[in-house]
Structure 1
Amino acid sequence: MKETPLSNCERDFLLTAIREKKRLDGRQTYDYRKIKVMFGTDFGCCFVELGKTRVMAQVSCELVAPKENRPNEGMMFFNIELSPMASPAFEQGRQSELSVKLNRQLERCLRNSKCIDTESLCVVSGEKVWQIRVDVHTLNHEGNLMDAASIAAIAALCHFRRPDVGIHGDEVTVYSAEERDPIPLSVYHMPISVSFAFFQQGTYLLVDPSEREERVMDGLLIIAMNKHREICSIQSSGGIMLLKEQVMRCSKIASVKVSEITELITRALENDNTARKGGGRCGFAESMPQERITALKKEETSVEMPDATERANDIVLETEVPLQTSQSPVVLLPGMGQVGQGLENSWGIAEDEQDEEEDVNSDEDKETMMEAADKQQAQPTQRDVVEISDSEEDEVVILQPETPVKVHKNTSSRSHQKGPVASKKRPKK
């Protein structure tokens, strides 16, 4: 699966933030992310957290035949596995360019720097030597895998214990941990790599780049150094031209960071050794209940608020009582009704008073209507004469109250007269 490329807006935003000396996680230019070093239950198992980047290193050993040109020295092998669990861009069972690059850099940092006494790994000259194998597994990829891998590998080598052996003539006996205490490796120094990302052809510099910063960088400089300020290896990638002053500046920054990381690894080894001697829980037994390995926990900052209740009560007491405001008048439109109790009409009259007033008005209206009806009955009524014509028979019907009906022949087609139409009847023949 190919890695999802960054959009132009994201790229411009990251470069603008770097020019303004700002980083997305709030770090300064030369700040490292928070580093955690933990050890497993078995010797030689180490977990390293560099921010959200997680790496596990496991050291193992076996007896093999030595090389012909170096019969008195043991051997060391390194293997870095980029698992799809760490990033969707990594493929299972296929070496990518990144994995080959990390593997070679780790070999230069640890094996070529002679940090381990390989002669102490010889059991029988020319016949049996110890072969040390370091497997590094990436658990989560959030940038700067090289630094996390180097820290995990050297910490695992310092934590590892090989079995003790006994030689009786031509026979070599390997003792278990119950029979004899395992023997630690002879570690001369601890080389640790520090990565520097360059942007805009070396104009801007960042230490410990994150995953998004690695996508927009122009070049990368990796310096492997120990606490004695001895450079073990140096590698530049990206095709940028660096000045001598820039390389010297990076080496000075790396010396400070390596001293801090070495002290952190030493302190972690001492704590693990103390816990094992005291019979306390260590490794997975101590890490699993705290979810330090199985889950990414969000860092929380505790806030002390002892007087929060008292301050809240004081604020409530000091607050003034709000004034009671009357409801706004509701103007009723024609065809609308008012529902609810305790509501007031548009003139501020209560509902009960309004009902009483409506009853009084209705009584008065009834009396007025009755008086008007009596007056109309007392006066004689005059009705208009209605003349209706029939177009088919050319007949006109004239209706007049209390008079017989008369039929007249009309030669005209129709005649109209204003007035209300009472009825229309066809005369009998």
Structure 2
Amino acid sequence: MSFRMAEEPKGVPLADLSLQQLGELQKNCEQELTFFQESFNALKGLLSRNEKSVSALDDVKVATTGHTALIPLSESLYIRAELSDPSKHMVEIGTGYFVELEREKAKAIFDRKKEHISKQIETVEGILKEKRRTRAYISDAFQTKVQAQLATMNTHCSHLQRFDFRSLEEFRDVKLVVGSEVGTAICTIGNTKVMAAVSAQIAEPSSMRPNKGVINIDVDLSPMANVSNEHDRLGSKGMELIRLLELIIRDSRCIDVESLCIRAGSEIWKVRVDVRILDEDGSLLDCACLAAITALQHFKRPNVSLEAHHTLIYSEYEKAPVPLNIYHMPICTTIGLLDKGQMVVIDPTEKEAACLDGSIVVACNKRREVCALHQSTNLVLTTKQIERCVKLAMARAEALTAVVSSIIKEDRQERSAFKRPDGFAITTPSLILTTGTAASRQIKAPVTKREPESPQRSLYQPSVIINENPLSVGSVKQEEVDEDELLAEQLTTIQNSVGQVAVTDNQSTVMSNRKREVEEVNNLLEGLDDSEEDEEIQTMILGPSEPGENTKMVVEEEAAPMGLVKRKKKK
């Protein structure tokens, strides 16, 4: 009897994959590596908690009944209580499920947990090593394929062509817009888009700098900017971006931090710059730096006045806000390097950056001062190569400084003329706000025949009756009834109804009146005194002989009350 062994899964050789496929594979490997690293850290935390539980069992072992201890109600809330039975413990056997066990059984459960978690940690640790090895293989294959493609290319400047048909030393278009609220700006370089917002609040200064304000920079890498970004997680790229922005803006001393002091040693202005990455397609640092600098130029802090024991903060309607004291504007320029720095690629896109040997970032101002210099790789550059990059960055800084100054000047002129700026509304294209005419949609149903029903006439029936069949399109028939005939029939019906109601009302009224009059006459006759009156009063009530005739009352004397007729008879 023979068994056929299952075939082992065959992998795809990395050399057979294209450059784009290798890039996607590298991103997937990075995401898997991040997931397993987080799982490894979580298991380490569980193991630490389990060890703390075992040590807590040993501490309670010497306790007696009535012993006072701190009992946890939550992870950070404890109360003081007395132990009723130190030999029994509440042990968590699941998420939110606890069981009361003896000390020996509880310790056995913790030992089993420790063994299980340790095995899981070993498994995940092995997976991490394998994933790191795979990432290294993919990265080497990616770099090898890039170098192979570059080697087959003619590297002369006249033969190279970029994806967007720019020359090697040509920048992309820059769009810069300030918001209707002070301290907000959006910068767009090609497809890269960054928004910056500046805010300020009063805080206490540090003991080392009691008379200087504080400038903090925060970066948010939105997942919609790049699929590799995670919400509320910066990663190495985000941390590098924050450090470079702090180096360019804060450490270059472009802002007068001493002017942000309110009271030396007690109150200062704490300025915060929030940078949000909306879209990412190369030159991310250039776009973020330009947006942050424009937002700082556009920002105005509230005006304050110092009193003896307090500080008054005025609104913009009471006193005009105060702009920041900015000495210069550092502008960032990213320059890609090819062929060991012999070729430069100005303002590379994300796809172009993947094919570069490295890049250099130069931050300078219009006064031709270099504020920061950063190189992304360990590529060795000569002095001439660095000077060439610095010259390109200086020309770029002069042009963008003029753009920022003109935008801020126009915004202040509009605000001084009491005109509210359009703000970010001008960045929304009209195609998004308007849509084309929608095509008409008709539902066609099969034509069916329907016999017209005789209309039921009522008191409030309309004078025109229309018989419609909504299912038969184009076959609607309208039958009009003569209005005069219907009107005559309605009047006759109303008249008959009114006559019947009137007769019924008259009959009921006559009967009730006769009964009431008879009762009144009897009451009057009973009250008369026969001894005082010699005359006999005869009361006669005249009424209709038939119930259908109208009742008439004849009164011979006007003084006779209640329609009574009095006749005197001789004794």
What residue is the counterpart of 2:387 in the other structure? 248
Q: Show the counterpart of 2:342.
A: 203
Provide the identity percentage: 32
Aligned residues of 2:146 and 2:355 also touching (Cα < 8 A): no
Task: Name 2:27's counterpart in structure 1.
Answer: 3
Give a deviation string over 1:244-279, Cα, whole Å, max 9, x none. 110011111111111011111111112222232334
Aligned counterpart, 2:186:
47
Distance 1:17 1:153 in 2: 39
More strand by share: 1
8 Å contact from structure 1 (residues 3, 88) kept in 2: no
Aligned to 2:27, the other structure's residue is in SS state coil
Q: Tell me, which stretches of 5 or more residues in structure 2 are unaligned? A: 1-23, 29-137, 434-571
Q: Does 1:12 align with 2:145?
A: no
Q: Is the 8 A contact 2:177 2:423 kept in 1?
A: no
1:220 equivalent to 2:359? Answer yes
Counterparts in 2 of 1:289 and 1:55: CA distance versus 1, 3 Å: closer
Which one of the candidate residues 200, 213, 217 is aligned to 1:74? 213
* 1:87-126 matches, cutoff 5 A: 87-126=226-265
- Aligned equivalent of 2:458: none
Q: CA RMSD in A?
A: 2.5
Residue 295 of structure 2 is matched in structure 1 by: 156
Partner of 2:320: 181
Q: CA deviation at 1:179?
A: 1.4
Letter of the structure 1 residue corresponding to residue 27 of structure 2: E
Could you tell me which residue of structure 2 aligns to residue 259 of structure 1?
A: 398
CA distance in 1, matches of 2:245, 2:352: 22
Is the counterpart of residue 277 in structure 1 residue 301 in structure 2? Answer: no
Q: Distance in 2 between matches of 1:156 and 1:64?
A: 21
Residues in 2 aligned to 1:178 and 1:96: alpha-carbon distance in whole angstroms: 43
Q: Any conservation in 2 of the 1:38–1:283 contact (CA below 8 Å)?
A: no
- Whole-angstrom CA distance in 1 between matches of 2:152 and 2:225: 26
Report the Cα offset of residue 24 of structure 1. Answer: 1.2
Which residue, 121, 141, 148 being the options, matches 2:280? 141
Show CA shifts across 1:294-327 (max 9, x none).
79xxxxxxxxxxxxxxxxxxxxxxxxxxxxxxxx
Tell me the residue number matched to 1:417: none
Which residue does the alignment assign to 1:38?
A: 177
Structure 1 residues 144, 244: CA separation in 2 closer, same or farther (over 3 Å shift)? same
Aligned AA for 1:149?
Answer: A
| Greater share of residues in helix | 2
Structure scoring higher RCO (CA < 8 A, sep ≥ 6) equals 1
- Change over 3 Å in CA distance of 1:247–1:13 after alignment to 2: closer
Distance 2:274 2:249 in 1: 13
2:428 & 2:160 partners in 1: Cα distance? Answer: 39
Distance 2:152 2:230 in 1: 29
Native 8 Å contact 1:115 1:188 kept in 2: yes
Q: 15-24 or 62-71: which moved more?
A: 15-24
CA gap 1:157/1:291 in 2 versus in 1, 3 angstroms: farther
Q: Does structure 2 conserve the Cα–Cα contact (< 8 Å) formed by 1:121 and 1:129?
A: yes
Separation (CA, whole Å) in 2 of partners of 1:81 and 1:52: 18
In structure 2, how many angstroms separate the alpha carbons of the residues matched to 1:288 and 1:200?
A: 39
How many residue pairs get matched? 294
SS of the residue aligned with 2:354? helix
Residues 137-164 of structure 1: CA deviation (Å, up to 9, x unaligned): 0111011100001100111100000001
C-alpha distance 109-288 of structure 1, shift in aligned 2 (>3 A):
closer
Alpha-carbon contact 2:300-2:324 (below 8 Å) kept? yes
1:110 positional shift? 0.7
Query: 1:15, CA displacement in angstroms?
Result: 8.3
Q: Is contact 1:147-1:193 (8 Å) kept?
A: yes
Query: What are the within-5 Å matches in structure 2 for residues 296-335 of structure 1?
Result: none
* Per-residue CA distance 1:201-251 (angstroms, 9 max, x = gap): 223211111110111111111111010011111111211111111001111
> Which residue number in structure 1 is paired with residue 304 of structure 2?
165
Q: SS of 1:3's equivalent?
A: helix
Give the distance between the partners of 1:17 and 1:283, measured in 2 at CA: 49
**Change over 3 Å in CA distance of 1:229–1:67 after alignment to 2:** same
In structure 1, which of residues 212, 218, 232 is the aligned counterpart of residue 371 of structure 2?
Answer: 232
Which amino acid is the alignment partner of residue 27 of structure 1? R
Counterpart of 2:186 in structure 1: which amino acid?
Answer: F
Cα offsets for 1:28-58 (capped at 9, x unmatched):
1111100011011110000001011100000
CA displacement, residues 386-418 of structure 1 (integer Å, 9 cap, x when unaligned): xxxxxxxxxxxxxxxxxxxxxxxxxxxxxxxxx
Inter-partner Cα distance in structure 1 for 2:149 and 2:311: 64
Which residue is equivalent to 1:317? none
Provide the rounded CA distance (Å) in 1 between the counterparts of 2:151 and 2:241: 25
TM-score, scaled relative to structure 2 = 0.49
Bigger shift: residues 9-18 or 183-192: 9-18
SS at match of 1:273: helix
Q: Distance in 2 between matches of 1:130 and 1:97?
A: 30
Match of 1:24 in 2: 163
In the alignment, the residues of structure 1 paired with residue 248 and residue 146 of structure 2 have an alpha-carbon distance, to the nearest angstrom, of 37
CA apart distance, 1:66: 0.6
Task: Give me the whole-angstrom Cα distance separating, in 2, the residues matched to 1:14 and 1:271.
Answer: 50
